[in-house]
């Protein structure tokens, strides 16, 4: 069996594991509450997270829960554009972080697959997470990611067959994104009971692949639970919610709430 290629971002998960902890992978939309504030938030995340997911707002976010939908649709209404993802990648990279884009595939196709890969790589970006793109339909992305040295992170779920898990992992570079629950994004009070079994199934097929667990993590306690069996803890809504709270309080540039949640999650990842 060919060894798994951990690329630019999987190496961060592997390094965290060597330190006896799980990697922290944080999500934030570019453009909310505005582009400059979101870039500051992403910089703060780069200083705490091992990998930063830059969310690219989309007009039909069917996989997103209410919190992430709100920031995405607001960012679009306020004028965010695809090119702002490149400014976000530069901000994360300059702050010492590793940036990936989390995006619906239509946005990349509309921009131009090779053009997007080129511009994102030139901005310091490391790869893409493509939740609505399966490896079977990713020929253009496979070529572009190889050409520009980008990681490609596909998703598996509790409903995935062993055959689908194996083929998806084989198509990945960096790490594999394991969705711990079925349904849309959103912080939950309890971790998914399906997560340990999904990780076990992945490891039985490919023991060398770094695994990030996403959907539902709300704080350090859950991060600590996931850190016991996964290589990366993915958090989105719990971070995004802090920016919503700051804007609702009339102080949209205040990132103290974001940093507090980041610190709690980082402590949880250390176990």
Residues with a catalytic annotation lie at: 53, 64
31 phi-psi bin (left φ>0, alpha ψ -120 to 50, beta other): left
Structure tokens at 105: 């595939």
- State the Cα–Cα distance between residues 16 and 19, nearest whole angstrom: 5
Which backbone phi and psi does 33 adopt, to 5 degrees? -75, -15
Structure tokens at 74: 């607001």
Give the rounded distance of the alpha carbon of 237 from its chain centre: 11
| Rounded-to-5 percentages of helix, strand, coil across the chain | 50, 15, 40
- State the Cα–Cα distance between residues 24 and 2, nearest whole angstrom: 27
Closest of 20, 9, 3 to residue 150, by C-alpha? 9
Radius of gyration of the chain (CA): 17
Asked whether the beta carbons of 268 and 237 are under 8 A apart, the reply is no
**Measured in Å, how far apart are the chain's first and last C-alpha atoms?**
32
């Amino acid at each position: 069996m060919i060894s798994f290629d951990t690329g630019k971002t999987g190496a961060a998960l592997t390094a965290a594991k060597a330190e006896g902890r799980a990697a922290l992978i944080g999500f934030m939309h570019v453009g909310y509450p505005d582009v400059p504030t979101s870039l500051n938030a992403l910089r703060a995340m780069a200083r705490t997270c091992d990998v930063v997911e830059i969310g690219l707002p989309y007009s039909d976010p069917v996989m997103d829960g209410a919190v992430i939908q709100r920031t995405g649709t607001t960012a679009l209404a306020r004028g965010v554009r695809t090119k702002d993802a490149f400014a976000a990648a530069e901000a994360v990279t300059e702050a010492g972080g590793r940036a990936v884009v989390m995006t619906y595939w239509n946005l990349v196709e509309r921009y131009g697959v090779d053009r997007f890969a080129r511009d994102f790589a030139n901005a310091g970006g490391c790869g893409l997470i493509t939740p609505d793109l399966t490896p079977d339909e990713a020929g253009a992305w496979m070529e572009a990611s190889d050409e520009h040295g980008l990681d490609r992170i596909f998703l598996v779920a509790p409903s995935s067959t062993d055959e689908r898990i194996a083929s998806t992992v084989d198509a990945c570079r960096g790490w594999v994104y394991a969705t711990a629950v079925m349904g849309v994004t959103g912080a939950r009070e309890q971790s998914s009971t399906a997560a340990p079994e999904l990780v076990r199934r992945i490891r039985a097929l490919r023991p060398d692949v770094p695994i990030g667990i996403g959907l539902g993590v709300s704080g350090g306690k859950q991060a600590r639970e996931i850190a016991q069996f996964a290589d990366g803890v993915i958090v989105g809504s719990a971070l995004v919610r802090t920016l919503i709270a700051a804007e609702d309080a009339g102080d949209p540039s205040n990132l103290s709430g974001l940093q507090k949640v980041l610190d709690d999650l980082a402590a949880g990842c250390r176990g």
